[in-house]
Amino acid sequence: MGQADDLLDKKDRYLYRFFEILPGFLGCVTLFLAVGFSFIKPAWMAIFIILFDLYWTLKVAYLAFNQVVSFRKMQKNIKTNWREKLRQTGLPWQGIYHLIFLPFVKEGWEIVSEALESLKNADYPLDKIIVVLAPEGRAGQHGQKIAQLAKEHYGAVFGHFLVSQHPANLPNEVIGKGSNVAFASLKAKEFLKEQGIALDKVIISSFDIDTKVFPQYFLCVTYNYLTQPNGQQASYQPIPIYHNNMWQAPAFTRVVATSNSFWQMMQQERPEQLVTYSSHSTPAKAFFGVGYPKNVVADDSRIFWKLFFKYNGHYRVVPLYYPVSMDVLVAENFLKTMVNQYKQQRRWAWGCIEIPYIIFNFIKNKKIPLVKKIFSAVVAVEGFWAWACASILILILGWLPVILGGRFFNVTILSYNLPRLTSFIMVFAMLGMLVSAFLGVLFLPRRPKNVSRYKVISIFLQWLFLPVTLLIFGSFPALDAQIRLMLGKYMGFWATPKLRRS
Averaged pLDDT for residues 35-58: 86
Give the model's confidence band at 451: pLDDT under 50 very low, under 70 low, under 90 confident, else very high: confident
CATH of the domain at 121: 3.90.550.10
Averaged pLDDT for residues 338-349: 94
Residue 187 sits in the same domain as residue 227: yes
Residue 302 domain-assigned (yes or no): yes
8 Å CB contact between 99 and 193: no
The secondary element (H helix, E strand) that includes residue 415 is helix 413-442
8 Å CB contact between 294 and 182: yes
The secondary element (H helix, E strand) that includes residue 222 is helix 217-227
Residue 395 domain-assigned (yes or no): yes
Predicted confidence (pLDDT) at residue 276 exceeds the cutoff of 60:
yes
Determine what percent of the chain is predicted with pLDDT higher than 90. 66
Q: Which domain holds residue 181?
A: 90-347
Residue 43 sits in the same domain as residue 169: no
What is each CA distance from 441 to 261, 453, 458, in whole angstroms?
13, 12, 10
Greater confidence (277 vs 45) lies with 277
Residue 298 sits in the same domain as residue 414: no
Over the stretch 288-320, which tens digit does the pLDDT of each residue have?
999 999 999 999 999 999 999 999 999 999 999
Over the stretch 171-215, which tens digit does the pLDDT of each residue have?
889 888 999 999 999 999 999 999 999 999 999 999 999 999 999
Residue 105 sits in the same domain as residue 58: no
Count of domains in the chain?
Answer: 2
Question: How many CA atoms, within 13 angstroms, populate the side-chain half-sphere of residue 148?
Answer: 6
Residue 311 sits in the same domain as residue 406: no
Q: What value does the mean pLDDT of the chain take?
A: 91
Predicted confidence (pLDDT) at residue 428 exceeds the cutoff of 70:
no
Residue 144 sits in the same domain as residue 51: no
Q: Return the exposure string of 106-141: e unless at least 16 CB atoms fall within 10 Å of the residue's CB, then b.
A: bbeeebbbbbbebbeebebeeebbbbbbbbbbebee
Residue 40 sits in the same domain as residue 115: no
- Which candidate, 209, 237, 205, 210, places its Cα nearest to that of 224? 237
Residue 492 domain-assigned (yes or no): no
Residue 491 domain-assigned (yes or no): no
Residue 485 backbone dihedrals phi, psi, to 5 degrees: -65, -40
Residues 6+ apart with CB under 8 A from 473: 252, 256, 341, 342, 345
Averaged pLDDT for residues 245-254: 89
Greater confidence (116 vs 64) lies with 116
- Which candidate, 335, 344, 293, places its Cα nearest to that of 497? 344
Residue 55 sits in the same domain as residue 95: no
Can you tell me the distance from the alpha carbon of 215 to that of 126, in angstroms, rounded to the nearest whole number? 12
Residue 222 sits in the same domain as residue 183: yes
Residue 48 sits in the same domain as residue 139: no
Predicted confidence (pLDDT) at residue 492 exceeds the cutoff of 60:
yes
Residue 341 domain-assigned (yes or no): yes
